Every structure is written in C-alpha cells, then in structure tokens.
Amino acid sequence: MESNNILLTEFEYAPFSKIRTEDYKPAILKAVELAKQEINKIVDSKDAPTFENTIEALEYSGQKLDRVTSIFFNINSAETNEKIQRIAQEVSPVLSEFKNDVILNKALFERIKTVFENKSTLDLNKEQETLLDKKYKLFTRNGANLAEKKQEQLREIDKELSKLKLKFGENVLAETNRYELQVTDESRLDGLPESFKEEAAEVAKEKNKEGWIFTLEYPSYIPFMKYAKDRELRKELALAFGSRGFHDDELDNQENVLKIANLRYQRAKLLGFESHAHFVLEERMAETPEKVEAFLNEMLEKAKPAAEREFKELEDFAKDLEGIDHLEKWDSAYFGEKLKQKLFDLDDEKLKPYFELKNVISGVFTIAEKLYGLHFEEVDDIDKYHPDVKTYQVTGESGEKIALFYADFHPRPGKRDGAWMTIYKQQYVQNGENERPHISIVCNFTKPTAKEPSLLTFNEVTTLFHEFGHALHGMLANTTYPSLSGANVYWDFVELPSQVLENWCYEKEALELFAKHYKTGETIPQEYIEKIKESANFLEGMATLRQLSFGMLDLSWHAGDPSGIDNVKAHEVKAFEPTRLFPDVESNCMSTAFSHIFQGGYSAGYYSYKWAEVLDADTFEYFTEHGIFSKDIADKFRENILSKGGTEHPMELYKRFRGKEPKPDALLRRAGLISK
C-alpha cells in the first residue's frame, strides 16, 4: 500500500491528480509514525540538550506530516465529499493524540526546559530567541507542567474538540447545500439584474428544474438580498440563511456550540487560566479580555450614535419608498442599496462591467509588482485539484523564485463558503537552502455565464485584494524557521497585510490599472471613482456596529464560564443587546453557523478584524503621505512586516515600520466617525 501511495513519495508540488482518496488516511498514519521516530531521536540523544539538537531538531521534525495534512485539510475545505469528510473525522483524533503525545512527552519537555533555562548563556539571534520562547510556551500552555491525570483529561478534551469542530463545519456546509429557493414566476424576480437571473436559470437547468434557483452560497444569497424587490422572498431566503444549524434535527449545532464552549473553558481552567479568552489572548497583541472589551466598547461608543442615525435614515427612506413602517433584517441590504443609488447614483450593476475577474487579477498582480517588484506568470504544468484552479510562478526583480501561487475563485458544492488564504508548503531555510512557499487563495466569486465572463461586485474586488494581501504575507516570507514564517503571527496582527491592501481598491491610481470595461476596454470613468470613494463610508456606523456585535458575541462565549448557559439563542440575544438595531428573529441564530469561532481559529479573536483595521488605517495613512506606490514605504512594509512573519513581537515590528504605536484615530477618520 505504502509503496504506491504518492503522498509518501518525495514531491515538490502537491501531486493532486495522482492522489486517490484512499491514499490520505494511510499516508497520514505513516507520516505520524515518521514524525514520532524523529521525536524519539531527539529524546534518545545521549548528548546534552542544545538549541540545535533539541529546539531546531523539533522545529524541522514532522515535515512529511505537515505536507500531507496541509494537502488533505485544504482539500476538505475546497473540494470535499462524504468520503473525505469521513476520513477527516477518523484522522483528526489521531492527529490530536499525536500533538498531545509530543507536548506531554516529559523527556522532550525536560530537554526544552534545560535549553530555555540556560538561554542567557546562549548566543542566540532574535529569531532563535523567539523560537525558543515559543517552543517552551507551546509545551507549558498545553499541559507539559500538569500532573499525569490532568494531562489525560487534556488529551480527552482535545480529541473531543477536534471532532466537534469538524462536525460543526460539516453541518453548516450540509445546511447551506440542502436549501434552495425555486422561483417559477418571473414577475417575482423584479429588481434582480439580468446577469444574476441568467446565472440562477443556469443553476435550475443543471438541476433539471424549472425557473430560477437561488441558494445560500454568498454569490447567490448576497445579490438576492440586495436587489430582490419581493420582500416575502427576501424574508424566506434570509430566514433560511439565519437558521442554519438551528432546526432541532440531525444538522442542528446547538449542542455542538455548548459542548465546544464548555470544553474550551474546562481546558483553559486545567491550564490555570480564568477562561478560554484569557488563554488565547495571552498570545495576542491585545493580551487580555479586559483590553479587548475596552477596545470594543470604545469603538461602540464612537460608532453607535452614527449607526442609530443611519438606521433612522434608512427606516425613513424605506417608509417613503415602499411604505414599510419597521425595518427587518431582510430589508437592510435592499434598502441600503436603494439609498446608496439615490445618494451616489452608483450600484454594482454599473460597476461590474469594469471588474472582469481576469482584469482584477491582472490589476492586483500589477500593484504587487509596483510595490514589491513581483512578477506572476500563469503556468499549466503544475498539478491542480480542480480545473477551476489557476497556478502561477512568482518571481522577484532579479528573476529569483519567490513562490508558487494557486487561485481558486468560484463556488462548487464541495467547497465551503467564504474566502480564505491557505498554505501547501511553508517558507523556511534548512541546510543553507531557502525553501520557497506554496500559497493559495480560495474564494466564492460569481461564475461566468454563457453570455458574460465572471464580473465581480465591488465587494468581491475588495475580497480578492484582502485574500491576496494574506497571500503576499506568505509569499514574501523570509525567515529561517517554518513555524515563524509568513502568516504565522499573532492572530490580531494577521489581518494587517490583508486589510491594508483593500485600500488600493479605492484609489484612482490603482483603479486605472485594471478597472476597464470588459466589452469596450474603456477605463472606469472618473465620476465612478469619485463615487466609490465617497460611498466608502456609506452606512459605516451600521457596518461597524455589526462587526462589533460579532466580536462581543465571541467574547460572551469565551471570556467567562459558559456552564450556566443552557439556551444558545437566549444567550445570543443578551450578547447582541448593546449593538441591536433590528428586531430579533426568533427562528434565527448566529452562533449555530458562526464557523469563524466554532470551527475556524477565531475563538476569542473575532475582535481582531477591527483591531487590524486600526493598524491598516494607520499604515495606509503612512502610504498616502508619501504616495500609494511609494517604493520607500513599500520596502519598509516588506522588510519589517511581510518578510518577518512571527520572528518578533508584532508591536516591535510595527513600531520599526511606522516609527510609533498605532492609534484608532486614522480608522475613525477614514470611517467618518470623527472629523478629519
């Protein structure tokens, strides 16, 4: 079996087309075995523990396991099926067990502890110091100092959590896939753009059904909520979206939410922390839940008056336009879009012809070239996991190899919602060789139709720039150790490179590079550019309040003892109270589909989007003071932020780049929440 398992051979690029589904599990089990042998070699060494034979040896161990699992779990997100999901359920406890075997290995920890306690006598550089600190903390934060009985409890909790998080995500995906809104009466589609209707008709045709089909996938859901005049249909779709995982059936996530929150709390208490949030935030820029709460409340204080004014304006507008007395959640996007059109005479349908996907890709590449001297060449000799995926070799100014870049843009049934950046191979230096990274971005953008290419909404344009900002963080990594490379940074720092790049989408100099009409080639008119800029802060107070509400909901689950919570919905209603604008919808629940915090890595960290916005607004202000394509500022950003990964504390890196600590003022100015 092993001899013909492609995953167990040596390969530079992921050999997707040669991997059989049945290869994954044996490859992962064998790679775990190999990694264990490498750990044993460190532990069994008769030599006294040194930085090289213990810390570095541990850092470079398990490389085959890292490669195989990165391929497998990326496929489980982007091109999954029932077999792959079943394998994920089977191997996740094994991987959790292996991680615990390493972290709770007393002999290994003793060697690490010896090196750590003698660090003042070692001649370590900054990156080596950081690696030593992180390795020591990795063990102590995961139970290395616990008594054996408590270590066993920790193992059980971790095993259970790994299963529950997978199940949570599978339920959300299944709920998203099983719902469809079929419309056979065209008069009920009033307001929807023709291209969007055409796409919905194609979906119906693929399913051998009549009329038009709309789904809960973002490229279908968001435009429908924005443009459909039929309020009842908007309500139906919104209720379906808002009730994912909340149906008291086999896909219900309420029990999973409670179990995950409680197990995380128990885990934190075992390790001597007050709560899961206290545990998480010890390794963040924000440091404590109290600081996060203060940050969210400061933002809330500034945003709430603006949000309430905007809500009143929107409600009055809806009453004048369609006689609606009380705004509901399913009215927000629709009337927001109508008001935006009235105020700015600008909508996605006017802008989309200027944002053909291939032009936007070309634009973001050109911006990366202007800022960082990167060159992207599409290649067709790299294996892919799906025909939709595009592959690019990335080189630097002197032709040196920088990275391999995968891009996967359109929705499919086996692909989870949203957009993300991921890694197939980390950058690191070993034996004098600088191994370059393999980076991927995965999105769910509007598909091309028989009549039109893929035309992006402006929101999709900013999403592409956002994920590409993460990709640059990975591509431009230049560190010695893989665990400190690229986006391996504090979670509330990781969004800086992504969010800062979104700013270029609003700038004339940048837009003129790629915003060209897909039929005529005409550059986007100046008046549209001005309106994009003017409308950037449209309903910003409400948008800020929404983000703050998610951060507060996250903290409500993780900053205290959740054992007293027996009703997910009631708890959520209470958490949302300070930020609530719309009436609550009894049949909806956010927590049961809040994948960021219950499946992904954002638990006790959702605030980091707003935190990183403070950093990104402050950073972009620096660029605008010197020109948005200033090579000098770009070099400083690359040198101090993008290339350094997690080699130093992010605040030190930021101060070295900017010359000072960030303040919220630049963000509040940009959002129009305080005067310039």
In a domain, 32, yes or no: yes
Cα dihedral 106, 109, 110, 111 sign: positive
Residues forming beta bridges with residue 433, ordered by sequence position? 430
Q: What is the pLDDT of residues 359-386, one digit of tens each?
A: 999 999 999 999 999 999 999 999 999 9
Nearest alpha carbon to residue 217 among 197, 200, 231: 200
Residue 621: inside a domain: no
Residues above pLDDT 90, as percent of the chain: 91
- Contact between 99 and 161 (Cβ < 8 Å): no
Backbone angles phi, psi at 516, to 5 degrees: -125, 140
pLDDT in tens, 124-139: 999 999 999 999 999 9
- Chain mean pLDDT for the chain: 95
pLDDT tens digits, one per residue of 157-199:
999 999 999 999 999 999 999 999 999 999 999 999 998 999 9
User: Based on the domain organization, do 33 and 119 belong to the same domain?
Assistant: yes
CA angle 555, 599, 61 (to 5 degrees): 110
d(CA 595, CA 574): 20
pLDDT of residue 347: 81
Domain containing residue 118: CATH number: 1.20.1050.40
Same domain, 140 and 215: no
Same domain, 37 and 120: yes
pLDDT 10s digits, 314-363: 999 999 999 999 999 999 999 999 999 999 988 888 999 999 999 999 99
Contact 356, 369 (CB under 8 A): no
State which amino acid sits at residue 547. Answer: Q
- Flag whether 397 is in a domain: no
Whether residues 137 and 224 share a domain: the answer is no
Positions marked catalytic: 467
Q: How many domains does the chain have?
A: 2
Q: How do beta strands 420-425 and 401-408 pair?
A: unpaired
**What digits encode the pLDDT tens for the residues 25-71?**
999 999 999 999 999 999 999 999 999 999 999 999 999 999 999 99
Bridge-partner residues for 377, per DSSP? 393
Q: How confident is the model at residue 673 (pLDDT cuts 50, 70, 90)?
A: confident
Nearest Cα residue to 369 out of 212, 489, 514: 514
Q: Where are the beta strands (DSSP E) in 298-344?
A: none
118 and 236 fall within a common domain:
no
**Residue range 546-603, pLDDT digits in tens:** 999 999 999 999 999 999 999 999 999 999 999 999 999 999 999 999 999 999 889 9
Contact assessment for residue 100 and residue 155, using Cβ atoms and an 8 Å cutoff: yes
* Alpha-carbon span 387 to 408, nearest angstrom: 9
- Per-residue pLDDT band at 669 (split at 50, 70, 90): confident
Domain boundary among 145, 169, 193: 145
Local confidence band at 674 (pLDDT 50, 70, 90 cut-offs): confident
Residue whose structure tokens are 């707003």: 610
Residues 6+ apart with CB under 8 A from 451: 195, 198
Say if 297 falls within a structural domain.
no
Q: Is pLDDT of 1 > 60? A: no
pLDDT digits (tens, 9 = 90+) for 227-260: 999 999 999 999 999 999 999 999 999 999 999 9
Cross-strand pairs, 375: 395
pLDDT at position 317 is 97
pLDDT for the residue numbered 234: 98
pLDDT tens digits, 510-535:
999 999 999 999 999 999 999 998 88
> Residues 14-25: what's their mean pLDDT?
96
Do residue 10 and residue 141 come from a single domain?
A: yes
- Answer yes or no: is 290 within a domain: no
Does 402 reside within a domain? no
Q: Is residue 299 part of a domain?
A: no
Which one of 224, 242, 260 terminates a domain?
242
Question: Among 206-210, 414-418, 462-466, 644-648, which stretch is predicted with the lowest mean pLDDT?
Answer: 414-418
Range of the domain at 227: 179-242
Residues 50 and 141 in one domain: yes
Instruction: Kindly state the helix (H) or strand (E) to which residue 212 belongs, with its residue range.
Output: strand 212-214
Is the pTM here over 0.75, yes or no?
A: yes
Decide if 53 is inside a domain. yes
Query: Which pairs from 173-179 meet CB under 8 Å and 24+ separation?
Result: 173/80, 173/416, 173/417, 174/251, 175/216, 175/244, 175/245, 175/247, 175/251, 175/593, 176/215, 176/216, 176/217, 176/244, 176/417, 177/215, 177/413, 178/251, 179/215, 179/216, 179/240
- Same domain for 135 and 237, yes or no, is no
First vs last C-alpha separation in the chain = 66
Domain boundary among 242, 262, 287: 242
Q: What is the mean pLDDT of residues 608-635?
A: 95
pLDDT at 348: 84
Specify the DSSP element, H or E, that contains 642.
none
Q: Is-contact 618 658, C-beta < 8 A?
A: yes
Q: Are residues 19 and 117 in the same domain?
A: yes
Residue 308 has which token pair? 């309430």
Number of helices (H), then strands (E), belonging to the chain: the values are: 27, 9
Burial of 80 from C-beta contacts in 10 A (0-12 / 13-18 / 19+): buried
Model pLDDT for residues 137-158, shown as the tens digit of each residue: 999 998 888 999 999 999 899 9
Confidence band of 2 (pLDDT split at 50, 70, 90) = low
Token pair in block for residue 28: 């992962």
**What pLDDT shows up at residue 197?**
95
CA distances from 67 to 147, 396, 410, 438 (A): 33, 25, 25, 11
Q: Check residue 3 and give its pLDDT.
A: 66
| Mean pLDDT of all residues in 404-408 | 98
DSSP state of 12: S
Task: Indicate if 12 and 121 belong to the same structural domain.
Answer: yes
Cα separation, 639 vs 624, whole angstroms: 19
Asked if 16 and 133 sit in the same domain, the reply is: yes
Shared domain check, 190 and 99? no
Closest by CA position to 488, among listed 469, 466, 473? 473
In 578-607, which residue ranges form alpha helices assigned H by DSSP?
Answer: 595-598
Q: What is the CA radius of gyration of the chain?
A: 25
Q: What's the confidence (pLDDT) of residue 142?
A: 87
